[in-house]
Amino acid sequence: MGIIRQLSETIINKIAAGEVVERPASIVKELIENSIDAGAKSIEVEIEGGGKKHILVRDDGCGMSEDDLFMALESHATSKLTKIEDLEDIATMGFRGEAIPSIAAVTKFSISSAQSHGNGFKIETKNGSVIRNIPVSMPKGTEIVADDIFFNVSARRKFLKEDKTEYSKIREIITNFAVAYYKTAFSFKSDSRIIFSYAAANSQIERISSVWKISKELIGSAEAAYQNTVSVHAFIPSPLESVPNHSVITVNGRIISDRAVNSAVFSTFREAVGGEFKSPVMLFIKTDPHFVDVNVHPAKLEVRFLNTMLVTSLIREAMLKALQSIRNRTKNEIRTEFVPLQNPFTKQVQQVFEKPEKTENAGKQIPDTVSEKNDRFIHGKITDISEPVKLCCGIPRHPIHFTISEETPAYSADKYEPENHESRETAQTYIPEPEQGNLFGMKIRDYKKIGVVFGVYLVIEMKDKIVFLDQHAAHERITYTALQKAVSMNNGLSQELITPLLIRLSPTESATLEENSEKFRKSGFIIEIFDESSATLRATPALGFETNWEKVIKEMLGELAAYSDSFEMEKFFLSHLAQKACKSSVRRNDVLADEEIDVLIEAVNRSDFISCPHGRPFFFVMTKNEFEKKVQRR
């Protein structure tokens, strides 16, 4: 007799159950997904002993017939797929037909269901075998009970955690679904105690507000989309608020945990808020089913996107917009774009900004006059990005686009006095300025300039705190933002080269260039393919700075060859801008005049970010109390 034997159906089911049922929370997840697929408007979950002793999931979905109940207990029996092509167009939570038989194999299991009120049927199983089946009277819907998880698989049962840990995992799972399916009512009871009950909500943000326990006004939301292929809707709480650390990420309603997505979330927070800042975030990704593969792992938490970089780019865009919408609410003033003007308090105005000579192609010029009435700036016009501006330290800079209100005071370097803001309050939600730590809502107001330490950190005194401002990192962020606005990847504005540039290309690069010629043209490049091994560059995007365009183009071709999407071109271009912003910004040991410091501080106040493009915060605060503790005055 041979040594290879066929495994019994019981052993096969227990092995399969190990892939689907990892812990009690896995059972709850699978059963809630089935309820959602059944069109349930109300889902109830009850557990005992952290779900190890008892799990009940009840819904008011479409229900099942007696025949369907028996079929549901069979392995790989499902109503979601009929042919192999359906795998490419999955729109339901479940599709493999593994959940019910897997759960039944490792628990004391029962399932009851009715397609109409009063006409139901119930089946009880043990070790995967039916031990009882009877008609029952019950409301329309389905009720599933799973008791004593892993009662027959001791090797798995001993790896379960304490009741409190398993309970917290189940609570998290149910809350995730409650956020993702806000139109469905959810209730959760543990050991006969009601934990929460969410009624059906009118909107996504209403349900999120209930989960985070903060008002809707303190939640930023924004959407980013690419044609009809992918869209991302992001919800982020104000970084000034303390909220439960609860994040949810879904793809077409399916809750996922994806490394690339998680990395994009973390890096975006690092860029926008700085440091190692972390915050819960709700991301709802919608895409064509053909663009994503959900058939990756039995737990169905992992997915594969056809273009991961496109998805992460949209996540970044939506999150940045959401954060900006929150930060903008701390700005009670009316915002108007302008080019910073000379401080009316100084006679050295000509040392700050030198106006460019007028040419035929020059953009709008800075106004010649400054109103000193009420010690206010007047509005200037936006100057073209290509016009050079020199700071008084003699280093050429590009003009920076700032925002300022009609009532923003011109600050004096000699003294500071508290300002009464009541006259400028609006109906907008006011988010209080933090004392320390989180700087997201920080504004540098009513200040006195003390000096510079280590050649880079501006020391600024306010009423009850000292601000240390990194002049290089701050100016780098402002410059990068201005360049980012100017690039406008699809505007097609070009700057013709005096001498055309011959670029050597490999056969792959040449083919990629020919295939993506329209993308380069829309970005502002004029490139003529000379032969199979070379091309002529005649014009570049009109960004107002020079660089090694041959290197830029070849690297872009490499990105396009790898990913074949214009988002890759934009991603590389913005990376290049970040490097350029760093090189063209104020550097360590550059001496800034008082007027330049005032302009930089106002730009910081108006910035939607508090970190440089690399994610490094550009200022920190020491309060008066902290300072006096250091010298033992307190």
Give the number of C-alpha atoms closer than 13 A to the C-alpha of residue 608, restricted to the C-beta side: 17
Residue 282: per-residue pLDDT: 95
| Same-domain check for residues 323 and 233 | yes
236 with 123, same domain: the answer is no
Quote the mean pLDDT of the chain.
75
Among the listed ranges 171-185, 358-372, 428-442, 499-513, which one has the minimum average pLDDT value?
Answer: 358-372
Amino acid 295: pLDDT: 61
> Most confidently modeled of 39-53, 310-324, 535-549?
39-53
Residues 190, 208: one domain? no
369 located within any domain:
no
Q: Is the pLDDT of residue 14 over 70?
A: no
pLDDT value at position 585? Answer: 81
Calpha distance 434→623 (Å, rounded): 11
Contact 260, 313 (CB under 8 A): no
pLDDT attached to residue 440: 64
What is the model's pLDDT at position 173? 94
CATH number for position 272:
3.30.230.10
CATH code of 173's domain: 3.30.565.10
Q: pLDDT category, 491, cuts 50, 70, 90?
A: low
The pLDDT value given to residue 227 = 84
Q: Are residues 44 and 174 in the same domain?
A: yes
- In this structure, of 57-61, 324-328, 536-540, 589-593, the range with the lowest mean pLDDT score is 324-328
DSSP code of residue 623: E
- Choose the most confident range, by mean pLDDT, from 295-304, 424-433, 473-482: 473-482
**The predicted structure's pLDDT at residue 76:** 56
Given the structure tokens 């029962």, which residue do they identify?
110
Which of 321-335, 346-360, 427-441, 606-620 is the most confident on average? 606-620
Question: Rounded CA gap, 375 and 337, in Å?
Answer: 19
CA 387, 575, 588 angle in degrees (round to 5)?
Answer: 65
Q: Among 328, 348, 383, which residue terminates a domain? A: 328
Residue 244 resides in a domain: yes
Q: End of a domain among 198, 215, 235?
A: 198
Task: Based on the fold, state whether residues 154 and 113 are members of the same structural domain.
Answer: yes
Q: Among the three residues 263, 297, 328, which one is the final residue of a domain in this structure?
A: 328
Note whether residue 15 is domain-resident: yes
Centre a 10 Å sphere on the Cβ of residue 309 and count the other Cβ atoms it contains: 17
Instruction: Give residue 307's pLDDT.
Output: 85
- Supply 501's token pair: 């540039």
Position 396 scores a pLDDT of: 37
- What percent of the chain has a predicted confidence (pLDDT) above 70? 70
- Cβ neighbors of 606 (< 8 A, separation 6 or more) are 331, 335, 402, 403, 404
Residues 222 and 290 in one domain: yes
Domain assignment of residue 526, yes or no: no
Residues 75 and 218 both lie in one domain? no
**pLDDT value, residue 439:** 54
Same domain membership, residue 93 and residue 74: yes
252 or 91, higher pLDDT:
252
Residue-wise pLDDT tens digits, 562-579: 665 656 666 677 777 777
- The helix (run of H) or strand (run of E) holding residue 530 is strand 526-531
| pLDDT, average across residues 4-13 | 63
CA 155 to chain centre: 40
Tokens describing residue 301: 């938490």
| pLDDT at residue 16, rounded to an integer | 55
Amino acid at 135: P
Q: How far is CA 578 from CA 478, 488, 584, in A?
A: 11, 15, 10
Domain annotation covers residue 449: no
For the segment 533-538, the average pLDDT, to the nearest whole number, is: 90
The pLDDT value given to residue 275:
60
User: Could you tell me if 182 and 217 lie in one domain?
Assistant: no
Contacts (Cβ under 8 Å, ≥6 apart) of 298? 19, 20, 96, 98
* Whole-angstrom distance, CA of residue 226 vs CA of residue 235: 18
Q: What is the pLDDT of residues 161-181, one digit of tens each?
A: 999 999 999 999 999 999 999
Q: Residue 148's pLDDT band (boundaries 50, 70, 90)?
A: very high
Predicted confidence at residue 364, as pLDDT, reads 38
- pLDDT per residue as tens digits for the range 204-234: 999 999 999 999 989 999 999 988 889 999 9
Q: Grade residue 592 by pLDDT with cuts at 50, 70 and 90.
A: confident
**pLDDT of 125 higher than 90:** yes
DSSP string, 85-113: GGGGG--SS--SS-HHHHHHHHSEEEEEE
Quick: pLDDT tens for 30-65: 999 999 989 999 999 999 999 999 999 999 999 999
Cβ atoms 560, 568 nearer than 8 A: yes
Instruction: Judge whether 179 lies within some domain.
Output: yes
Question: Is residue 392 one of the residues assigned to a domain?
Answer: no
Per-residue pLDDT band for 9 (boundaries 50, 70, 90) equals: low
Closest among 496, 491, 435, 474 to 611, alpha carbons compared: 474
Q: Both 187 and 126 in a single domain?
A: yes
Tell me the range of 442-451, 463-472, 546-555, 610-619 where mean pLDDT is highest. Answer: 463-472
- 436 domain residue, yes or no: no
Q: State the DSSP string of 428-496.
A: SPPPPPPSSS--TT----S-EEEEEETTTEEEEE-SSEEEEEEHHHHHHHHHHHHHHHHH-TTS--EEE
The domain tally of the chain equals 2
What does the pLDDT read at residue 197?
Answer: 95
pLDDT score for 19? 57
Q: Which domain holds residue 122?
A: 9-198
The whole-number average pLDDT for the span 552-570 is 72
pLDDT at 329 over 80: no
Both 185 and 288 in a single domain? no
Domain co-membership, 187 together with 216: no
